Amino acid sequence: MHNDIKEVLYTEQQLEQKVQELGRKISEDYQGRNLFVICVLKGAFIFMADLVKHITVPLELDFMAVSSYGQSTKSSGVVKIIKDLDVPLEGRDVLIVEDIIDSGLTLSYLIDILERRNAHSVSVVALFDKPARRTVELTPDYTGFTLPDEFIVGYGLDYAEKYRNLPYVGILKEEVYSKA
Ligand code: 5GP
Ligand code: MG
Ligand code: MG
């Protein structure tokens, strides 16, 4: 285990099992259709890579990067698109892949943008959800794990851009934050 990790919340095996389960459910629901899968960078990159291996309907995928405009505007949920999609969404069945939903602001703004591009449907899969932290009404169509209000790292999720490479998900030791 990494020296900065206090506790492992989900092991590599638990994550793999959950991702498989989500892939199966999504494949059932989209039977007979084609999917357009969007990975929201950077946190969802490992989740998306593992998830698509378990989706059996034909799909295309792309990446989007968004960032909040800053603390003062964050409450309005306004985000800036850093990297946009390469193709139009007109008529497509879109699945947004998110690492974790916290306040829900980033995602609700993103859903708004994508729906205005005349997608046929827009759904969301989030590996982690912290519903207690929500400031806007938003329930993902597919959720991996529901978490209490705790900050997690690993499996794509960072603290100060580190720990994304950990194959498990855990909580950092207090001293890691106080050093920062
Ligand atoms: P929201 O707009 O829902 O408040 O922001 C969600 C984003 O905040 C996530 O995509 C992620 O980048 C970050 N975030 C929220 N909770 C956590 C957490 O527990 N750990 C990490 N590493 N990032 C988080
Ligand atoms: Mg994210
Ligand atoms: Mg982050």
Residue 76 lies in a domain: yes
Q: Name the residue at shortest CA distance from atom 23 of ligand 1.
A: 157
Which pLDDT score, from 0 to 100, does residue 73 have?
43
ipTM over 0.90: yes
102 labelled catalytic: yes
DSSP string computed for the chain: --TTEEEEEE-HHHHHHHHHHHHHHHHHHTTTS-EEEEEEETTTHHHHHHHHTT--S-EEEEEEEEEE--HHHHTTT-EEEEE--SS--TT-EEEEEEEEESSSHHHHHHHHHHHTTT-SEEEEEEEEE-GGG-SS----SEEEEE--S---BBTTB-BTTBSTT-SSEEEE-HHHHHH-
Ligand 1 neighbours by CB, cut-off 6 Å: 43, 98-107, 151-153, 157-159
Report the CATH number at residue 63: 3.40.50.2020
Residue 87 lies in a domain: yes
What would the pLDDT profile of 88-136 be if each residue is shown by its tens digit? 999 999 999 999 999 999 899 899 999 999 999 999 999 999 999 999 9
Residue 9 lies in a domain: no
Total domain count, the chain? 1
Q: Which ligand is nearest to the CA of 140?
A: 1
Distance 55 CA to ligand 1 centre (A): 25
Residue 2 lies in a domain: no
pTM greater than 0.80 (yes/no): yes
Atom in ligand 1 nearest the alpha carbon of residue 102: 3
What would the pLDDT profile of 61-77 be if each residue is shown by its tens digit? 999 999 876 555 445 66
Q: Active-site residue among 50, 93, 99, 102? A: 102
Residue 1 lies in a domain: no
- Per the structure, the complete domain to which residue 97 belongs is given by 14-147
